[in-house]
RNA sequence: GGGGGAGUGGUGGAAUGGCAGACACAGCAGACUCAAAAUCUGCCGGACGCACAGUCCGUGAGGGUUCAAGUCCCUCCUCCCCCA
């Protein structure tokens, strides 16, 4: 008997030191074993890890360790998403340089990750704020410039007055900044864009093809909505007075005979020439309102211009209006209103007393009456009063009418996308400098490749507000033009940090390469990534940009895969007070305290046990005790039984059979959880059950059963509690080597099998008794046994048996009447 | 408004048409202890009941399908996420 107590902190710190061995978690990529790339979203180095990180990385690490043990060559890297606003905000607040702040956070968090025992191949660590990483952002930028993917345009952007920076559309949440929640204002600036729209079709297509099975359906749906492809037609109405064309975009050209007005965006080029007097004042107010508010928030308003347009299909005159809900950035900036068949148009025309004219009837109904119509009929149906298309199903009319427009040169079949090009310019210091020079004579001149990286200067003033700090650094700004040598200005905008995270997982394959972002041969074995694990919060932005970047890299010839990630797992958020943990919200729970008190193993086990991984989880520490108790019981159990396990031989006992049965059942369950849905909470519950059973039979175990149990227990526990399992393996069992290098045990179905089936007997669906029978007992025998059972008789006697349902080895249900 | 989730004991959760509440937390009672911690044992959805005798009720609400529904279908309520 041993009276050792479980002391996680000392054993864990010991193994942390031993696990610094750079070979231990080294991915080889040499074809010696089947490769498997397990990737978790790299953290932003905000200061300390929080429980969301612990959860994400505990899931990934359990999987990585399991895959190692299943014989894979596992690539399991980590790095730092190290550029971004918080560093600059910290610089202003704490008078600390963003670089120093970031790198000290990285150092601290790295030590936390090591302390948690995650199996990362640290030789591949990537830190995006270092020049040896971001020079390749610049290299990609130049490649995209050459290919016409990167371009410049004057554009209205979302300006956050508090962060003093431009936000991407995706970074605006309900008109407010995603980080600081300040109201966003529009602003005109010359910006750099990536032409992600050039890949819109392919990005959409793949969501129905290669991603269909490996990505969560809801992420695919979100991406499809974001891309927002709609198939429609553009048709020219004619301004009656001048004959100039007004092109409208519509997805329902089959309803055009029901168009009763044309509505222009306030910013439409024709608008200004059509309005005067009071109408002009109203239009200007609309434009001003667009600047101030999110278009979704404004109350719908319209104003009649006094002009008319001619419908190209029936030559009918319809009034031209201006509407504040018509967006210049979508379609053509002008729409035709068909109130009878579009809800928004219906509301608008009702409001202003514009005619409503039904032209589509339901397939099994009559055409609505214009005088009494209560709501728009928006489905497809049958055309009525639509010239040559009358009587045609509107789905067919839609195609035919678009063709007619093309043949008669007043329109085209058109596809529009909701997704816009990716604005990457940021008026910020702490990001990748955009590698171009503005020369008064030559214009925009790319920095030559051999002059990369354009390094961020270290000596910078942080005033806190206003323009980019880089503009104040004359040694950075004032350069000579690479083409003509005349004095020129360096671009002072930096890149969106989503650039960094769009390809970091490629750099892991070849992190030290000084000649290219990566060597294609080194990336090839690992892509596409077998499994990516991260928060659903990145379902749109990060994952679409990464997919886009992959396609660009493929077109440049760096990789051959079309998509970066085969399987995506989105783990639920860890929340506190109903909100995601984040430093800016100040609701972060730091794992250090828990690790100091209970150890990293308990911390990992608990985060996995508390909820299934894909579910959101409200942080609540009560329950940690349970997993600590469990590990402590495992420790003491193994210590107590190692001596016995050394004396193999002796007769197998009844206790052996029961303990081994539970052992192999548990192994079956845990393996199945890894291979299918990752419900590690139930795997850990099964391990708890196993421990309960083992202690129950402990006294009567034979030496050889004990030996098998102790060994299998260590192996099975390893993905969840690497430290304890390794300690027991090496110190108590005296075994050689690292558990991660051992083979995952194989469950024996014979040993796992129950002796007999315990069959519940129901009467009218209510449980009345149970019997235990050998497996495979035939139906008629089961029925006999059931009817003979005393408890069953009490509910059946004197009644008429209508039916007996028997599912062999499973259940008996006797249906009675009376 | 549209799309997608979710709703089960005091709590986290389990159960993918077949015994609702596995496993754990908290709680209660007991053992050990001078005492506490740790550990161990027992109880732990509700009602009736002397009861680990039995019966009835019970998975947001109501209906349906089925021998059998937390699970499938319809209607409704509440909450969360995404998009307008």
Can you give the three-state secondary structure of A6-66, one letter per residue?
CCHHHHHHHHHHHCCCCCCCCCCCCCCCCEEEEEECCCCCCCCCCHHHHHHHHHHHHHHHH
CA of A785 to C1' of B71 (A): 30
Give yes or no for a contact between A431 and A462, defined as CB atoms under 8 angstroms apart.
no
Q: Which residue has the tokens 């979302």?
A: A158
pLDDT of residue A508: 97
- Asked if the Cβ of residue A753 lies within 7 A of any atom of strand B, the reply is no
CA distance between the termini of chain A: 63
CA of A626 to C1' of B51 (A): 33
Burial label for A659, CB within 10 Å (0-12, 13-18, 19+), is buried
C-alpha–C-alpha distance, residues A728 and A739, integer Å = 10
> Phi/psi of residue A709, each to 5°?
-65, -50
CA of A53 to C1' of B25 (A): 23
Q: Report the protein residue whose CA lies nearest the C1' of nucleotide B4.
A: A218
Instruction: Flag residues 407-426 of A with CB < 7 Å from strand B.
Output: 418
Give yes or no for a contact between A116 and A608, defined as CB atoms under 8 angstroms apart.
no
> Phi/psi of residue A265, each to 5°?
-70, 150
Give yes or no for a contact between A60 and A22, defined as CB atoms under 8 angstroms apart.
no
CA of A769 to C1' of B67 (A): 17
Q: Which residue has the tokens 């002072």?
A: A492
pLDDT of residue A286: 82
Give yes or no for a contact between A362 and A377, defined as CB atoms under 8 angstroms apart.
yes
- Asked if the Cβ of residue A475 lies within 7 A of any atom of strand B, the reply is no
C-alpha–C-alpha distance, residues A307 and A814, integer Å = 80
- Asked if the Cβ of residue A251 lies within 7 A of any atom of strand B, the reply is no
Which CA distances in Å does A142 have to A139, A151, A444, A447?
5, 10, 12, 8
Instruction: Flag residues 81-110 of A with CB < 7 Å from strand B.
Output: none
pLDDT of residue A95: 84
pLDDT of residue A428: 85
CA of A752 to C1' of B68 (A): 29
pLDDT of residue A2: 46
Query: Helix (H, G, I), strand (E, B), or coil: what is residue A97?
Result: coil
- Asked if the Cβ of residue A766 lies within 7 A of any atom of strand B, the reply is yes
For chain A, the C-alpha Rg in angstroms (whole number) is 34
What H or E segment, with its residue span, contains residue A138?
helix A131-146
C-alpha–C-alpha distance, residues A707 and A466, integer Å = 70
Q: Which nucleotide is nearest to A226 (CA to C1')?
A: B83
Among A57, A29, A31, A26, CA closest to A43: A57
Q: Which nucleotide is nearest to A540 (CA to C1')?
A: B82
| Positions on chain B within 7 A of a protein C-beta | 3-5, 11-16, 18-20, 22-26, 38-41, 54-56, 67-69, 80-84
Quote the tokens at residue A348. 């608008």
CA of A695 to C1' of B32 (A): 19
Quote the tokens at residue A434. 């955009």
Residues of chain A with pLDDT under 50: 1-2
Q: Which nucleotide is nearest to A802 (CA to C1')?
A: B67
Q: Which nucleotide is nearest to A627 (CA to C1')?
A: B24
User: What are the E-state strand segments in A512-588?
Assistant: 529-535, 565-571, 574-576, 579-580
Q: Which residue has the tokens 């509505």?
A: A263
Among A520, A517, A484, A486, CA closest to A500: A517
pLDDT of residue A287: 80
Instruction: Flag residues 633-662 of A with CB < 7 Å from strand B.
Output: 633
How many other CB atoms sit within 10 Å of the CB of residue A64? Answer: 28
> Under 8 Å CB-to-CB from A107, ≥6 apart: which residues?
none
CA of A466 to C1' of B65 (A): 66
Q: In what order do the strands lie in the sheet with A579-580?
A: A579-580, A574-576, A617-618
- Asked if the Cβ of residue A770 lies within 7 A of any atom of strand B, the reply is yes
Give yes or no for a contact between A683 and A669, defined as CB atoms under 8 angstroms apart.
yes
- Asked if the Cβ of residue A284 lies within 7 A of any atom of strand B, the reply is no
Q: Report the protein residue whose CA lies nearest the C1' of nucleotide B82.
A: A222
Burial readout A490-505 (b: 16 or more C-beta within 10 A, e: otherwise): bbbbbbbbbbbbbbbb
Give yes or no for a contact between A480 and A106, defined as CB atoms under 8 angstroms apart.
no
- Asked if the Cβ of residue A777 lies within 7 A of any atom of strand B, the reply is no
Q: pTM of the predicted model, to two decimals?
A: 0.87
pLDDT of residue A755: 85
- Asked if the Cβ of residue A681 lies within 7 A of any atom of strand B, the reply is yes
pLDDT of residue A4: 76
Quote the tokens at residue A66. 């399991």
Give yes or no for a contact between A207 and A217, defined as CB atoms under 8 angstroms apart.
no
Instruction: Flag residues 224-243 of A with CB < 7 Å from strand B.
Output: 225-226
Bridge partners, residue A575, by sequence: A580, A618
C-alpha–C-alpha distance, residues A244 and A334, integer Å = 14
pLDDT of residue A1: 41
pLDDT of residue A418: 85
Give yes or no for a contact between A565 and A528, defined as CB atoms under 8 angstroms apart.
yes
- Asked if the Cβ of residue A347 lies within 7 A of any atom of strand B, the reply is no
- The string of DSSP letters for A596-656 reads HHH-HHHHHHHHHHSS-TTS-EE---TTHHHHHHHHHHHHHHHHHHHHHHTS--S---HHH
- Asked if the Cβ of residue A783 lies within 7 A of any atom of strand B, the reply is no
C-alpha–C-alpha distance, residues A728 and A713, integer Å = 10
C-alpha–C-alpha distance, residues A371 and A813, integer Å = 62
- Asked if the Cβ of residue A726 lies within 7 A of any atom of strand B, the reply is no
């Amino acid at each position: 008997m041993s009276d050792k107590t479980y002391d996680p902190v000392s054993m864990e710190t010991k193994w942390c030191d031993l696990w610094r061995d750079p070979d231990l978690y080294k991915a080889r990529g040499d074809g010696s074993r089947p490769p498997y790339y397990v990737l978790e979203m790299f953290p932003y180095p905000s200061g300390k890890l929080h429980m969301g990180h612990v959860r994400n990385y505990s899931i990934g690490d359990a999987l990585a360790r399991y895959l190692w043990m299943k014989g894979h060559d596992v690539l399991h890297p980590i790095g730092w998403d190290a550029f971004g606003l918080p560093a600059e905000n910290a610089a202003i607040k704490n008078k600390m340089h963003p670089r120093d702040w970031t790198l000290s956070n990285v150092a601290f968090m790295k030590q936390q990750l090591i302390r948690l025992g995650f199996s990362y191949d640290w030789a591949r660590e990537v830190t995006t704020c270092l020049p040896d990483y971001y020079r390749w952002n610049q290299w990609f930028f130049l490649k995209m410039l050459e290919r016409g993917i990167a371009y410049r345009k004057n554009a209205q952007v979302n300006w956050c007055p508090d962060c003093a920076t431009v936000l991407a559309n995706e970074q605006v949440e309900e008109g407010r900044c995603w980080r600081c929640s300040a109201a966003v204002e529009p602003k005109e600036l010359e910006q750099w864009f990536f032409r992600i729209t050039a890949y819109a079709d392919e990005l959409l297509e793949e969501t129905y093809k290669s991603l269909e099975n490996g990505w969560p359906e809801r992420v695919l749906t979100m991406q499809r909505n974001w891309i927002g492809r709609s198939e429609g037609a553009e048709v020219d109405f004619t301004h009656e007075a001048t004959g100039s064309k007004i092109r409208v975009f519509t997805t329902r050209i089959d309803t055009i005979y029901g168009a009763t007005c044309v509505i222009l965006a306030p910013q439409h080029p024709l608008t200004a020439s059509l309005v005067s007097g009071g109408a002009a004042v109203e239009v200007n107010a609309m434009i001003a309102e667009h600047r101030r508010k999110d278009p979704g928030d404004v109350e719908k308003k319209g104003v009649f211009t006094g002009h008319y347009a001619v419908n190209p299909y029936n030559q009918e005159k319809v009034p031209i209006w201006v509407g504040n809900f018509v967006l210049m950035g979508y379609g053509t900036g002008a729409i035709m209103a068909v109130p009878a068949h579009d809800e928004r148009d219906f509301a608008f025309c009702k409001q202003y007393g514009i005619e409503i004219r039904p032209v589509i009837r339901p397939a099994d109904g009559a055409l609505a009456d214009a005088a009494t119509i209560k709501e728009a009929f928006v489905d497809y149906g049958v055309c009525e009063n639509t010239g040559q298309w009358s009587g045609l199903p509107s789905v067919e009319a839609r195609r035919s009418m678009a063709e007619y427009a093309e043949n008669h040169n007043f329109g085209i079949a058109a596809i529009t996308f909701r997704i816009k090009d990716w604005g990457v310019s940021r008026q910020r210091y702490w990001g990748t400098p955009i590698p171009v020079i503005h020369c008064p004579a030559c214009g925009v001149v790319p920095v030559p490749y051999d002059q990369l990286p354009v390094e961020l200067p270290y000596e910078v003033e942080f005033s806190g507000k206003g323009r980019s700090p880089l503009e104040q650094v004359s040694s950075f700004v004032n350069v000579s033009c690479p083409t003509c040598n005349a004095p020129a200005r360096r671009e002072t905008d930096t890149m969106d940090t989503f650039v960094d995270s769009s390809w970091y997982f490629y750099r892991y394959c070849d992190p030290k390469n000084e000649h290219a972002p990566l060597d294609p041969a080194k990336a090839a074995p690992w892509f596409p990534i077998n499994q990516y694990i991260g928060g659903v919060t990145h379902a749109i932005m990060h994952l679409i940009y990464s997919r886009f970047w992959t396609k660009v890299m493929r077109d440049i010839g760096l990789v051959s895969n079309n998509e970066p990630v085969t399987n995506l797992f989105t783990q639920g958020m860890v929340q506190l007070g109903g909100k995601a943990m984040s430093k800016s919200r100040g609701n972060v729970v730091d794992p250090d305290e828990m690790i100091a008190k209970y150890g990293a193993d308990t911390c990992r086990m608990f985060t996995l046990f508390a909820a299934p991984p894909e579910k959101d989880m409200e942080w609540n520490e009560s329950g940690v005790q349970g997993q600590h108790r469990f590990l402590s019981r495992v420790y003491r159990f193994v210590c107590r039984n190692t001596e016995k396990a050394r004396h193999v031989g002796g007769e197998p006992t009844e206790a052996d059979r029961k303990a081994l049965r539970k052992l192999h059942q548990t192994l079956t369950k845990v393996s199945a959880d890894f291979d299918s849905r990752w419900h590690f909470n139930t795997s850990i519950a099964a391990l708890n059950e196993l421990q309960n059973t083992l202690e129950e039979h402990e006294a009567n175990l034979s030496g050889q059963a004990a030996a098998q149990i102790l060994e299998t227990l260590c192996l099975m526990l390893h993905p969840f509690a690497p430290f304890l399992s390794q300690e027991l393996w090496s110190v108590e069992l005296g075994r050689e080597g690292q558990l991660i290098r051992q083979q995952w045990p194989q469950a024996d179905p014979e040993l796992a099998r129950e002796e007999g089936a315990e069959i519940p007997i129901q009467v009218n669906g209510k449980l009345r008794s149970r019997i235990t029978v050998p497996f495979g007992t035939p139906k008629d025998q089961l029925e006999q046994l059931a009817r003979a059972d005393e408890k069953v008789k009490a509910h059946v006697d004197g009644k008429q048996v209508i039916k007996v349902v028997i599912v062999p080895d499973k259940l008996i249900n006797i249906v009675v009447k009376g």
